[in-house]
Structure 1
């Protein structure tokens, strides 16, 4: 029992030391900065694309899911911008020009590109150069937005389908449970996409599965850390008193930093587990 506890402690210590050696805390700050610049263009692109196929107002009902994870001041800023985009002219949302949509996607790409650089640091992989770097980031951005649209469609459509079933009093609880299952599934698959195709490593044994230990751990820690940060801001940290009118911006930036650090933690966990598994395999082969 004590031996197992010491082994877990050493593994966690090695994991944190690996993150420190790769300056992932500093990289997380850079990712958070670019995420701050990218989030609202990403929302514009997401709402514009959704508006082509359905009523953008449906997005508004799903935004409340984020209230439990994003600090109140930051959520207010986020929610205000979503309302502004949704309440825009319907023709603008439904028939956004390719140029404006392309600009939004390109701005979003900058945030994804920063995250890819962090993943390359985790795996000590060389950065893609020039056009390849921009293309990889843009392709991953498009995939993440497409996945978000599919998840959003599922969150909206599945409850409507369930409403037709004779579930009685259990209907509301079933709706809520289904929404969370879909959200959690979308986050895990999104992390799987990032971990699998983000890093520029060529080594086969470092390839990550769609559902990985790092993604599961990152999901749990991210949920807990976001809740704890919101609780801290509600009871102790009054950013508006210190930063004034930009308090909500600072709170959102800090939340992005926590999120980026947790995502890179999950990547480091996957990398460390793959490395240890590979070493054990080599040792077993040599023993034979």
Structure 2
């Protein structure tokens, strides 16, 4: 336990040493730009599919569960007031979301490279293509978890109705635990995928799992603490007016990016670069990539 805490302490220090705070700022900026077209895309799809208000409430509750306090009502209001969008707008919004989301991944990939002190190997085209891949890899499990969380109450009521009422209390407690495990497991899985594919040298799963678990724990803990701080001490809507929610989200996204980079530093500390490729080998690959034409 003491060794683990020592590694966490060193990982935080290396985050300062490698200037990961500037990387987190860039990732948070890209993330806040990604968030609004993503919400627009989701609301357009839900409106086009004639989803019920109860379903939209469940989606808003699921999103609000991982965001700071005060953001869920704003998202719900946005969903309720949104009108059906044409198919062309949905396609355009999807492209914008994909492009800006890839910017988040590129910032994180730069942070991973700094954590392992690796040379810059990928050219701009390959880096952008890999970032697109990471957006899809991260989006699929998150969409699956959101689906389960959104339909959680319906599943809960259906099972309770078809079982003995004496089991209702036990089932509700068990289902609550399952939903939390789904949220935690999905977060770990997404971060593992990003760590695994975010470096030029793909790492074994067991080498990126410790940092993923640490980043998930720090993510949930920091979100809880930040939400408590907003509720009791800082109301950004009073200071910044109508953009207060956006300011709070920007700070929260900065914190999330920072804990993901801390997790990468933790993995780099436990499994240094020389365990998955010598510096000379990486240098040869980097030289070959630099000599390759940009479009190839």
Q: Could you say whether these structures have the same fold, taking a TM-score greater than 0.5 normalized by the shorter chain as the test? A: yes
- Matched residue, 1:119: 112
Q: Please say if residues 188 and 211 of structure 1, whose CA atoms lie closer than 8 Å, have aligned partners that are also in contact.
A: no
Q: For structure 1, which segment, 164-173 or 221-230, has the greater mean C-alpha deviation from structure 2 after superposition?
A: 164-173
Q: Give the TM-score normalised by structure 2.
A: 0.76
* Match in the other structure for 2:270: 273
2:132 aligned residue: 138
Once residues 215 and 79 of structure 1 are traced to their aligned partners in structure 2, the CA distance between those partners, rounded to angstroms, is 30
Pairing of 1:58-207 with structure 2 (within 5 A) = 58-84=55-81, 87-89=82-84, 92=86, 98-125=91-118, 126=120, 128-156=122-150, 160=154, 163-164=158-159, 165-166=162-163, 168=165, 169-170=168-169, 171-200=171-200, 202=201, 206-207=203-204
C-alpha distance in structure 2 between counterparts of 1:182 and 1:53, whole Å: 26
What is the CA RMSD across the aligned residues, in angstroms?
A: 3.2
In structure 2, do the counterparts of structure 1 residues 73 and 160 end up closer, same or farther at CA, with 3 Å as the change threshold? closer
* Number of the residue aligned with 1:285: none
2:44–2:90 Cα contact (<8 Å) kept: no
Q: How far off is 1:239 after superposition?
A: 2.3
The number of residues matched between the two structures is: 268
2:10 maps to which residue? 14
Shift of the alpha carbon at 1:50?
6.8
Question: Aligned pair in 2 of structure 1 residues 260, 97: CA closer, same or farther (>3 Å)?
Answer: closer
Alpha-carbon contact 1:30-1:114 (below 8 Å) kept: yes
Cα offsets for 1:46-77 (capped at 9, x unmatched): 55567788947535303313435433234444
CA distance in structure 1 between the aligned counterparts of 2:125 and 2:273, rounded to whole angstroms: 34
> 3-state SS of the aligned residue for 1:30?
helix
**CA-to-partner distance for each residue in 1:91-122, whole Å, 9 max, x for gaps?**
747x8654443233223322232222222222
Gaps of 5+ in 2: 277-296
Query: Where does the alignment leave 5 or more consecutive residues of structure 1 unmatched?
Result: 280-288
Task: Identify the residue that residue 214 of structure 1 maps to in structure 2.
Answer: 211
Q: 1:184: Cα distance to partner?
A: 1.6
**TM-score normalised over the length of structure 1:** 0.78
| 44 and 119 in structure 1: CA distance in 2 versus 1, 3 angstrom threshold | farther
| Distance in 2, Cα, partners of 1:250 & 1:207 | 37
SS of the residue 2:272 aligns to:
helix
Kindly indicate whether the alpha-carbon contact (under 8 Å) linking 2:195 and 2:264 is maintained by their aligned counterparts in 1.
yes
CA 1:25–1:147 in structure 2 vs 1: closer, same or farther (change >3 Å)? same
User: Is 2:67–2:223's contact at 8 Å kept on the other side of the alignment?
Assistant: yes
